Structure 1
Amino acid sequence: MTDRDRLVPDEGLTPASEALPGAAGPLKIDKPPRSQWADVWDQFKHHKGAMAGGIIFLVIVLTVFLGPLFWTLDPTLPNIRDRNQGMSLAHPFGTDQLGRDMFARMMAGGRTSVAVGIAAMLLALFLGSFVGVVAGFFRKLDSPLMRLTDLFLALPLLPLLLVMMLLFREPLNATFGTEQGIFILIVCAIGVTSWMPTARIVRGDVLALKEREFVLAARSIGTTNAKMITRHILPNVLSPIMVSATLGIANAIITESALSFLGLGFPPDFPTWGRLLFDATDYLQQYPSRVFWPGMAISLTVLSVNYLGDGLRDALDPRIRGR
């Protein structure tokens, strides 16, 4: 055999996969690993209640925010000739005692109620996450912050909200105007009184995370506390924060509706679902549909958000993912 024969392989040789006994075909390349969010979506879409809740909540949000582009009747314009009408093509939900279209008022009230729920949820989420992370990460601040949380949990919620509404209504109305002042007051009142469950949940997760190996490794190389929290702690507590966010929207909508039903929310010419319920109580026996529609909207929104939160909790929990 010459040197050329040693260097150049024979053209008749078969591939390695065919030469090996028992080989079924060419070697297969492993697929890249799936992302965590793909696993979360796979678990979430198998939760029928969460999918139904997400679709219903999306339909409600799109209806109240995009519906006025197609249904152009003014929700605050009275029309005495059309008052107390039933359901018809011109007024699908009928009219009220002043002839205002109830469908337009339902969409206007839904925009206010959903906006209050989202804004109050964001405020409560920020306060609860901040208190929970600080209390769980810094041992010296743990006891004072948790005693403050227990103090807020011990306060009666409804009387506290009523006192806040009575004390700060006039100053905020004089500063920001009637509608904006009431909106700021309700959002702040609900957010300040509903951050405590989020703080307790986040604190428990932070206490468990700061003893994990990756946190100890980051601490050993001199990572500052601020970078430790933003890069290692917060990304790992997003799951309970997202679940608290969905449940916080439902809680805020119910609280705003209760305040409006008691007459302490927005003014009468600024509709919300709770205000529509309050205005319809005097006509409950004659026109029960006026109570049915806002009550149904509140119930569907809260129920859909609760199912959405349950699905997110199951999908984001790695211990039960895949069941």
Structure 2
Amino acid sequence: MTDQSAEIEVFGALQDKEPSKPPRSQWRDVWDQFRKHKGALFGGGFLLFITLGVLFGPFLWDIEPTKLDIRNKNWRPIYTLIWESGAKAGWAHPFGTDQLGRDILAQMIYGGRVSMAVGWSAMVLALVIGTAVGVAAGYFKRMDFWLMRLTDLVLSLPILPLVLLAVTLFRQPLSSRFGPEGGMFILIVSVIALTSWMQTARIVRGDILALKEREFILAARSIGSTPTKIILRHLLPNVISPIMVSATLGLATAIITESALSFLGVGFPSDFPTWGKLLSDAVNRMQEYPERVLLPGILISLTVLSVNYLGDGLRDALDPRIRGR
């Protein structure tokens, strides 16, 4: 081999070669990891099914949920015909009717719409508050002490008595201003959000403390980037993973809290169906009609379980340190 051919081979080896195929997208890797988590797939699918069901269910099942029909009260679900031949049931009311003749399926659809609306709204509001507090505490050293002591103070408060006190104090003013349903919606969403942002704040603060000493943040500071630009362009995109996981857990917490308030009778008005209100109304006749407790209870449990599974799958898929295990 001559010296000239050897030089050609060396220069050829040093030249950049085009990749044989385009690089994989990061989101493609996230999806590949997410779909390996069977529980997360179930959780996401069931949550999507419930959300679409409560949104479009009234168009498919157009019975008014508050319509009274005393002549057709206390119908049993259609499946009770298998073991109760004398039960009053039929396809007109496949989930049965309550003691006032109201269709339970229509109430569950409409109640799910209210419960899911409260859950999503409270989750988004708590996420905004927690992210803002966590970013401010983690990035600005002079604000860290006071914001974290505020977070510890709110964490130490008994949440349920605090929620009951807030509902008792502000129910009447808000109801008179925004109406019974609108006022209670604003009050419940605000109370749940103001008592559930602390976990998000602590998680975001920890990640911001670790990220702000990284080389790319120091480089952004060295070229004169403002704190607002650094937070929006460099820090927030890197903490999106814990924020999304916290969002799923916040949604589950909000649904359970709203159901508990409605069950205790301090939520929406008595003629305004929610899943918790359906449980509360069914307690007095639980021995005679156990399905009235089981149906909304199963829906609440499966919805919260699906959200928790979805959060586990997102955590595994979005965290590059454990991706692929």
> Do the structures match in fold with TM over 0.5?
yes
- Give 3-state SS (helix, strand or coil) of 2:22's partner: coil
- Give 3-state SS (helix, strand or coil) of 1:257's partner: helix
List alignment gaps of at least 5 residues for structure 2: 1-16, 78-89
Provide the alpha-carbon RMSD of the alignment. Answer: 1.5
TM-score of the superposed pair, with normalisation by structure 2: 0.90
Q: After TM superposition, list the pairs within 5 Å mapping 1:241-252 onto structure 2.
A: 241-252=243-254
Q: Give the aligned partner of residue 171 of structure 1.
A: 173
Amino acid of the residue matched to residue 282 of structure 1?
A: N
Cα offset for 1:30?
2.2
| Structure 2 residue 78 is the aligned partner of structure 1 residue 76 | no
Cα offset for 1:28?
8.2
Amino acid of the residue matched to residue 25 of structure 2?
A: S
Cα offset for 1:278?
0.5
Q: Give the aligned partner of residue 66 of structure 1.
A: 56
**C-alpha distance after superposition, 1:112-155 (max 9, x if no partner):** 00000000000100000000000000000000000000000000
- Once residues 196 and 270 of structure 1 are traced to their aligned partners in structure 2, the CA distance between those partners, rounded to angstroms, is 31
- 1:110 aligns with one of 112, 122, 127: 112
- Once residues 251 and 94 of structure 2 are traced to their aligned partners in structure 1, the CA distance between those partners, rounded to angstroms, is 28
| Structure 2 residue 209 is the aligned partner of structure 1 residue 207 | yes
Q: Give the aligned partner of residue 22 of structure 1.
A: none
- Once residues 147 and 319 of structure 1 are traced to their aligned partners in structure 2, the CA distance between those partners, rounded to angstroms, is 31
- 2:26 aligns with one of 18, 36, 44: 36
Which deviates the most, 30-39 or 251-260?
Answer: 30-39
| Structure 2 residue 284 is the aligned partner of structure 1 residue 294 | no
List alignment gaps of at least 5 residues for structure 1: 1-26
Amino acid of the residue matched to residue 35 of structure 1?
A: S
Amino acid of the residue matched to residue 86 of structure 1?
A: R
- Once residues 277 and 29 of structure 1 are traced to their aligned partners in structure 2, the CA distance between those partners, rounded to angstroms, is 60
- Once residues 93 and 243 of structure 1 are traced to their aligned partners in structure 2, the CA distance between those partners, rounded to angstroms, is 35
| Structure 2 residue 186 is the aligned partner of structure 1 residue 184 | yes
Amino acid of the residue matched to residue 201 of structure 2?
A: A
Q: Give the aligned partner of residue 51 of structure 1.
A: 41
Identity among equivalent pairs (%): 67
TM-score of the superposed pair, with normalisation by structure 1: 0.91
How many correspondences in the alignment? 300
- Give 3-state SS (helix, strand or coil) of 2:68's partner: coil
Amino acid of the residue matched to residue 165 of structure 1?
A: V
- 1:94 aligns with one of 93, 96, 104: 96
- Once residues 59 and 239 of structure 1 are traced to their aligned partners in structure 2, the CA distance between those partners, rounded to angstroms, is 24
Q: Give the aligned partner of residue 303 of structure 1.
A: 305
Which deviates the most, 27-36 or 144-153?
Answer: 27-36
- Once residues 298 and 261 of structure 1 are traced to their aligned partners in structure 2, the CA distance between those partners, rounded to angstroms, is 12
Structure 1 residues 206 and 100, CA, compared in 2 at 3 Å: closer, same or farther? same
